[in-house]
Amino acid sequence: MCGIVGYIGNKKAEPILINGLYKLEYRGYDSAGIATIEKDAIKNIKNKGRVSDLEKTDGIENLEGTIGIAHTRWATHGKPSSINSHPHLDNSKHFAVVHNGIIENYADLKAFLEKQNYTFLSDTDTEIIPNLIHYNFVQDKKDDNFKFLRAVKNACYMLKGSYAIEVISDYFKDEMIVVRKDSPLVIGKGINENYISSDIPAILSYTKDFYLLNDNEFAKLTRENIEFFDENLVKLEKAPINISWNPLAAEKDGYEDFMLKEIYEQPRAIRETIWAHLPEISKCQMDELNFSKEYLEGLEKIYLVACGTAMHACLVAKNMLENICEIPAEVDVASEFRYRNPLINSKTLCIFVSQSGETADTIAALKLSKSKGAKTVAISNVSGSSITREADYTIYTHAGPEIAVASTKAYTSQIALLAVLTIYFAEILERNPVQVSNLKEELYCLPEKITDTLKCSNRVKSFAQKVYKEKDIFFLGRGVDYAASLEGSLKLKEISYIHSEAYASGELKHGPIALIEDGVTVVSVITTPSLVGKSISNIQEVITRGAKTFIITNQDLEGHTFDEVISIPKTSSYVSPILSIIPLQLFAYYISKEKGLDVDKPRNLAKSVTVE
Ligand code: G6P
């Protein structure tokens, strides 16, 4: 939540910062602001609303500074307003700060600073930070090259919570200080210029060489140099990593919205994710993992832990792991898992799935599992993200940058990778070779089948045009189709704001059926051959009560009448949501478009939830 960007170099900072903010807007879009060091002072311009509103704000075109920081906000403390926008300045107006995270002890620190006669303009937790920096700056009687860095470090020492912070000061016109703890921050290295960002794609068009800060590490940037320090300001050596992503992958590429582009990228994303680990003919290779047969045989349980869409991918994987590997698997929401004292020991394997690799609850759940003696595997889409640096092992999805807040290609890639992981475990364990070989064959065919499935787009769009004004839409499914329904329903509510629930079809009669009345739309996913009859009976029950029905199926449902049926290719039941979700992604997309909403940036949401 919240995006931060920074620049220090010889070019005008403002256009670079604005460009970065546009790319980070998916992280929050309640307000935006920019501060640069001008000839005689820091100039701070901020506004409620989006980056496009900031761009139109008076005076922004006059910013000439070549050092600057900028922020796009997802409000936590203090409502979205100009005054609560970042950057925040200290009372003396010599220090400017942008911050992503939450300062938990801000009330105590505010009271402390008020006693020292500091005053505050905003309701934010962030405004204490520049003032704490100023406080520590004036307390420090030493005058050397590290005075600015020391002031930031001493201020951070007083903070509790999470933060990625950039600081500039007009006392130090050729320096920028950054620090992170539990919030993401990357540094892009250029030639006589350096960049800061919350994520890599936002600055990928300027550089491919990145430094990753770990928690409690500081960096002091000048135009030519980047120095790294630990929490005690002991100097650290770091090597840059080279990112091979194509910057164009983070552009819309002719599509109206990122979400639509990302839906259509799924054949490629799945192909690359599968081929990275599953070469044809030979056994599954996962060089990143080194699990022995003895270790896997000794496992008592696998936990799959994640949030949001990633958790829905885990629900799909549970079945595969239990049936093919014969290891009990449990899925949990990270925010619950971390506080419920789960039974974990060295015979537990914990898998954490996170597209961004920055979700605060998922990272905390991973740390908890490690502390209880479990081995931990991270599945992420972002190279070098925080979760990958905490986990014992990491495997990557190859979805490429996902920009739209509503996740699409990351979800299907996560299921594909979890299927590959299942195969990897089963091959080591020498269990269920026939199922393993069938699943492998199906995985290879998936990219082509996704391409076929995408052909349903026009029919889905027509149905969306009929129902987009509805207040409630329900989803039904059994088994793996229930997992797909949960994800379809989440997509719909995220971007269309239509109230939606997904139910296990068998639960219908235990309450939800009371909500079905004339004209209500019910979406049902039916792909599991053994459950077709039962699912059809449940649909009949809602039709009898007046529901309109929208069916996604790979079965022959001849003899039954529904309002719309989308036929998708057959595949293994273990991975069928990779296909059945596609019409549901498109359904949510076209409803949102019909309603004239911002598909890529739905209200109140952020792509990366770095606060609890
Ligand atoms: C947010 C996003 C979702 C995402 C979830 C988990 O809620 O809007 O799209 O599924 O976070 O994110 P992660 O990066 O951990 O997969």
Q: What is the mean predicted confidence (pLDDT) over 11-35? A: 92
How does pLDDT run across 91-107, given as a tens digit for each residue? Answer: 999 999 999 999 999 99
Same domain, 277 and 216: no
Neighbours of 269 (CB within 10 A): 25
The catalytic position among 153, 181, 601, 607 is: 607
Neighbours of 85 (CB within 10 A): 29
Task: Tell me whether the omega of the peptide bond preceding residue 247 falls within 30 degrees of 0, making it cis.
Answer: no
Same domain, 386 and 517: no
In a domain? residue 113: yes
Same domain, 326 and 230: no
In a domain? residue 49: yes
In a domain? residue 88: yes
Q: What's 76's domain CATH number?
A: 3.60.20.10
The catalytic position among 2, 156, 284, 325 is: 2
> Residue 458 C-alpha to ligand 1 middle, in angstroms?
28
Same domain, 393 and 512: no
Its domain, for residue 342, covers 252-431
DSSP conformation class of 323: I
> Residue 289 C-alpha to ligand 1 middle, in angstroms?
25
**How far is residue 498's CA from residue 507's CA, in Å, rounded to a whole number?**
22
Same domain, 174 and 277: no
Residues in the ligand 1 pocket, defined by CB under 6 Å: 307-310, 354-356, 359, 362, 405-407, 605, 607-609
Query: What is the pLDDT of the chain when averaged over all its residues?
Result: 93
91, 119 contact by CB (below 8 A): yes
Q: Would you call 607 a catalytic residue per the annotation?
A: yes
CA max distance for the chain = 86
Same domain, 370 and 265: yes
Could you tell which of 259, 359, 487 is best to mutate to test the pocket of ligand 1, judged by most ligand atoms within 8 Å of the CB? 359
In a domain? residue 169: yes
Local confidence band at 534 (pLDDT 50, 70, 90 cut-offs): confident
305, 364 contact by CB (below 8 A): no
Same domain, 395 and 470: no
- Residue 509, pLDDT > 90, answer no
Last residue of a domain, one of 220, 248, 276: 248
How does pLDDT run across 256-303, given as a tens digit for each residue? Answer: 999 999 999 999 999 999 998 887 767 888 889 989 999 999 999 999
Nearest to 16 by CA among 65, 59, 79, 53: 65
Domain count across the chain: 3
Both structure tokens of 134: 């100023």
- Note the pLDDT of residue 281: 64
Residue with tokens 């829905």: 312
Same domain, 177 and 273: no
DSSP string, 149-188: HHHHHHHHHH--EEEEEEEEETTEEEEEEEEEEBS--EEE
In a domain? residue 601: no
Phi, psi of 277 (to 5 degrees): -125, -15
Last residue of a domain, one of 397, 431, 465: 431
Same domain, 424 and 532: no
In a domain? residue 341: yes
Same domain, 244 and 274: no
In a domain? residue 437: no
- Note the pLDDT of residue 248: 64
DSSP conformation class of 81: -
Same domain, 169 and 65: yes
> Residue 309 C-alpha to ligand 1 middle, in angstroms?
6
Q: Would you call 370 a catalytic residue per the annotation?
A: no
Q: What's 383's domain CATH number?
A: 3.40.50.10490
Residue with CA nearest ligand 1 atom 15: 354
In a domain? residue 440: no
> Residue 359 C-alpha to ligand 1 middle, in angstroms?
7
How does pLDDT run across 361-413, given as a tens digit for each residue? Answer: 999 999 999 999 999 999 999 888 889 989 999 999 999 989 999 999 999 99
- Pairing outcome for strands 67-73 and 3-8: antiparallel
> Residue 489 C-alpha to ligand 1 middle, in angstroms?
15
How does pLDDT run across 448-486, given as a tens digit for each residue? Answer: 999 999 999 999 999 999 999 999 999 999 999 999 999
Same domain, 405 and 468: no
How does pLDDT run across 515-526, given as a tens digit for each residue? Answer: 888 899 999 999
Edge to edge, the sheet with strand 472-477 lists 499-504, 472-477, 521-526, 548-553, 564-567
**How far is residue 183's CA from residue 607's CA, in Å, rounded to a whole number?**
14
- Amino acid code (one letter) for 498: I
Last residue of a domain, one of 396, 431, 466: 431
- Note the pLDDT of residue 110: 97
The atom of ligand 1 lying closest to the CA of 307 is: 6
